[in-house]
């Protein structure tokens, strides 16, 4: 097991400090770990992927909607082309399930023609406008009022947190240090070295700082640079259905996009659920609303009329870090040498993340010596998925380790062995939600009612803490909420 860094009194000097342990920060960390560098990733949360990256659509976008000559367009296409190999190397699920952008009237049909032309101009391959008959053969549950669709063959789906965890674990195995629960509250520059002061009173020095801090991106930049940015969070709410509803469609079904978002979609997830959303509201809270959920259901019924609302498992929301620039901001601050901003990474940030990692390498290659790490491990093996094994494989595993014969989550068929793996891996789970993201325990029909206390007990034993100290996510979010005297 690789331990997280616990910063103590001494000042640490690093080659590179990355602020933010979301999919972008972890992609950058993994790419930079290909070189002999002393790298640390800082994040205010107690686990990776606790911010923007954990709550989005999980779509690997084709890129047809991005503006020509924008960073979003360039990095979307490059990231899309990288994702299949990355998923094989790092053992996370990816499906090239393709997408349809649906038009229900003449105005929307005209918009499809523009989207096709725009996509082709920026290098998206495999775009085709298809007629109603072909649409309904592909997806018979689509609203029969559909006229035409843009068929996007390069689109796909992933689990955003599974992808982020895979990138982070591989970066960690390749020598990157992670300090979680380490919120940067101030940055000073002394003789070309940055000193980052943390909320816990500790500090780190670094030659290069990469600001990939999501919603805090403007705050971190504004500590250092006279060029000020502003993040305007846009909330997107989602409605998650169970796996019974997951067979309603195979492809990701978009409606014609608006200026604020790519529109409310209906999509299968890589784990077999059905997902609706998001809407787009200027808001800085992740609380869902009755009004917002009603909105996405109503809009989704334009795509599929008879949604099985009795199969809704959960609702959630996420925030997108939009800026007025309307493009990714990936550059060195003009008045702060070696301070690299990676901010305003809203959609298609998940798709672009692997390409952003490569882009950062190009950006800093003249700022620091990049000597190849000959011991770099390209591959990472994910947590055992007991339910996906054959009978013979299951029996062999149980004979070797009996904890795989103890079922913890009966809804998702997750064993004690998998929970123990999640806790004892590189960047191992320290909270109930961290176990959930790594194993899918508590993601089924009972939403943790039947297994959360069992998981809390396992965490308590493995971490050497009382069960009352087991947290849901961040500190002071007690999951169980009692202590036996």
- Report if residue 482 sits inside a domain: no
Under the banding of pLDDT at 50, 70 and 90, the label for residue 258 is: low
- Catalytic residues, by residue number, are 61
The two counts, helices (H) then strands (E), for the chain are 12, 22
Pairwise CA distance, residues 192 & 197, whole Å: 16
Least confident of 134-148, 169-183, 206-220, 277-291: 277-291
- Report if residue 319 sits inside a domain: no
193 lies in the same domain as 84 = yes
Pairwise CA distance, residues 397 & 225, whole Å: 55
Pairwise CA distance, residues 282 & 271, whole Å: 30
Can you give the pLDDT at residue 2? 40
Name the phi and psi angles at 458, rounded to 5: -65, -45
Pairwise CA distance, residues 254 & 261, whole Å: 11
71 lies in the same domain as 190 = yes
- Neighbour count for residue 301 (Cβ, 10 Å): 16
Q: Which of these, 388, 453, 382, 449, lies nearest to 414 by C-alpha position?
A: 388
Under the banding of pLDDT at 50, 70 and 90, the label for residue 161 is: very high
Name the phi and psi angles at 12, rounded to 5: -90, 135
| Boundary (domain end) residue, out of 340, 355, 382 | 382
The whole domain housing 392 covers: 386-469
* Domain count for the chain: 3
87 lies in the same domain as 164 = yes
Q: Does 470 have pLDDT greater than 70?
A: yes
Expressed in percent and rounded to 5, the helix, strand and coil fractions of the chain are 35, 25, 45
- Report if residue 477 sits inside a domain: no
378 lies in the same domain as 390 = no
Per the CB < 8 A criterion, the answer to whether 200 and 182 are in contact is yes
246 lies in the same domain as 112 = yes
69 lies in the same domain as 213 = yes
Per the omega criterion (within 30 degrees of 0), is the bond before 467 cis? no
* Mean pLDDT value across residues 425-429: 96
Pairwise CA distance, residues 412 & 271, whole Å: 10
Under the banding of pLDDT at 50, 70 and 90, the label for residue 263 is: confident
Q: Which of these, 177, 165, 139, lies nearest to 49 by C-alpha position?
A: 165
- Orientation of helix 432-439 relative to helix 452-463, angle to 10°: 110
Pairwise CA distance, residues 37 & 285, whole Å: 37
Can you give the pLDDT at residue 476? 84
CATH code of the domain containing 48? 3.50.50.60
171 lies in the same domain as 269 = no
Q: Which of these, 20, 79, 36, lies nearest to 176 by C-alpha position?
A: 36
| Boundary (domain end) residue, out of 364, 382, 400 | 382
| Boundary (domain end) residue, out of 382, 397, 420 | 382
CA distance to 27, 61, 226, per residue, from 73 (Å): 18, 10, 28
132 lies in the same domain as 162 = no
pTM score: 0.95
* Mean pLDDT value across residues 235-260: 91
Mean pLDDT of the chain: 94
190 lies in the same domain as 169 = yes
Pairwise CA distance, residues 393 & 396, whole Å: 5
């Amino acid at each position: 097991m690789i331990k997280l860094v616990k910063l103590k009194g001494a000042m640490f000097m690093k080659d590179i400090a990355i602020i933010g342990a979301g999919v972008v920060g972890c992609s950058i960390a993994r790419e930079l770990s290909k070189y002999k560098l002393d790298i640390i990733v800082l994040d205010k949360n107690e686990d990776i992927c606790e911010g923007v990256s954990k709550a989005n659509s999980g779509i690997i976008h084709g890129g047809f909607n991005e503006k020509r000559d924008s960073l979003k367009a360039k990095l979307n296409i490059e990231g899309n082309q990288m994702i299949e190999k990355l998923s094989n190397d790092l053992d996370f699920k990816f499906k090239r399930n393709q997408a349809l952008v649906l038009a229900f009237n003449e105005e929307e049909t005209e918009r499809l023609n523009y989207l096709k032309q725009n996509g082709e101009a920026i290098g998206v391959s495999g775009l085709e406008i298809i007629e109603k008959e072909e649409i309904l053969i592909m997806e018979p549950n689509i609203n029969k009022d559909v006229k035409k669709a843009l068929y996007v063959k390069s689109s796909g789906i992933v689990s955003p947190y599974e992808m982020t965890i895979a990138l982070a674990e591989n970066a960690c195995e390749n020598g990157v240090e992670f300090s979680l629960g380490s919120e940067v509250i101030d940055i000073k520059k002394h003789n070309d070295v940055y000193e980052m002061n943390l909320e816990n009173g500790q500090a780190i020095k670094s030659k290069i700082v990469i600001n990939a801090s999501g919603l805090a991106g403007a705050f971190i930049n504004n500590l250092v640079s006279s060029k000020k940015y502003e993040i305007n969070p846009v909330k997107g709410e989602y409605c998650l259905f169970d796996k019974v509803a997951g067979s309603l469609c195979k492809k990701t079904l978009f409606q014609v996009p608006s200026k604020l978002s790519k529109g409310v979609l209906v999509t299968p997830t890589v784990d077999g659920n059905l997902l609706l959303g998001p809407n787009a509201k200027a808001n800085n809270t992740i609380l869902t609303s009755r009004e917002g959920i009603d909105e996405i259901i109503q809009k989704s019924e334009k795509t599929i009329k008879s949604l099985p609302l009795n199969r809704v498992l959960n609702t959630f929301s996420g925030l997108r870090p939009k800026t007025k620039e309307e493009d990714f901001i990936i550059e060195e601050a003009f008045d702060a040498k070696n301070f690299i901003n990676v901010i305003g990474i809203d959609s298609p940030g998940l798709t672009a993340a692997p390409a952003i990692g490569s882009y950062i390498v190009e950006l800093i290659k003249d700022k620091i010596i990049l000597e190849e790490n000959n011991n770099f491990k390209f591959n990472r093996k994910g947590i055992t998925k007991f339910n996906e094994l054959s009978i013979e494989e299951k029996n062999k595993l149980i004979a070797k380790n009996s904890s795989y014969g103890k079922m913890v989550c009966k809804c998702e068929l997750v064993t004690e062995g998998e929970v123990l793996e999640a806790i004892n891996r590189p960047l191992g789970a320290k909270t109930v939600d961290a176990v959930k993201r790594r194993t899918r325990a508590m993601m089924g029909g009972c939403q943790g009612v039947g297994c959360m206390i069992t998981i809390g007990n396992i965490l308590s034993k493995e971490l050497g803490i009382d069960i009352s100290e087991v947290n849901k996510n961040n500190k002071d979010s007690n999951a169980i909420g009692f202590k036996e005297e």
